[in-house]
Amino acid sequence: MKIRNLTINCYYALESQKSTLKEIEIEICTYSTEFEILRNCENLEVIRILEPNDENVFKTFNTNCCNTLQISSHKSIDSSNIIQILEKSGSSLQQLEINSFRKGINLQSLLLKILMTTCPNITYLFFDGIKLSVQFLEFIGGLQKLQFLTLDWMSMNQKKR
């Protein structure tokens, strides 16, 4: 299911699909109370959040079977907003894409710490806007199942645009 602007009609459709919905793409949406229905979609395997207008959208999901998480924003991404999804997904998470289009990832060390402790089964990893660090290299080195890696990093001297 792809959601561009959540409306009441969409809310009722989601309510009837909450036990069977496997994949959702949310694009250019602002958080509203209607998003709370997504908290009950426990079988979501693929979550794509593209260009959110409001980072509260990240806190909507309460699934422990997410195997693919894609977050894409032309703004800096605040890691604290996606920690809940990562912790709940844990060892189910296999594909992770975080794309900030070189705007950076805030609280990167927190993100890496959570990934190292809860998401050991990542096979596909895409980071845009990551800063290379010893912690990042340790994280990559610890991913025993990693098969695909794409990085577009920010140097320490590079300013966020």
Distances in whole angstroms, Cα of residue 31 to Cα of each of 43, 49, 82, 130 = 21, 12, 14, 26
Pairing assessment for the beta strands 148-154 and 124-131 based on DSSP bridges: parallel
Number of domains in the chain: 1
Mean pLDDT of 141-158: 84
> What pLDDT sits at residue 8?
45
Residue 160 lies in a domain: no
Residue 19 lies in a domain: yes
Q: Please report which helix (H) or strand (E) contains residue 27, including its range.
A: strand 23-27
**Is this prediction's pTM over 0.75?**
yes
Lowest mean pLDDT among 3-12, 120-129, 132-141: 3-12
Residue 159 lies in a domain: no
- Cα separation, 17 vs 157, whole angstroms: 48
> What pLDDT sits at residue 140?
94
In eight-state DSSP terms, residue 23 is E
Residue 34 lies in a domain: yes
What domain range includes position 134? 2-154
What would the pLDDT profile of 15-66 be if each residue is shown by its tens digit? 788 888 889 888 887 777 777 777 778 888 999 989 888 777 877 777 788 9
Q: Could you tell me the CATH number of the domain that includes residue 30? A: 3.80.10.10
In eight-state DSSP terms, residue 88 is H
**Which has the closest alpha carbon to 126: 146, 90, 99?**
99
Residue-averaged pLDDT of the chain: 84
> What pLDDT sits at residue 68?
96
Residue 161 lies in a domain: no
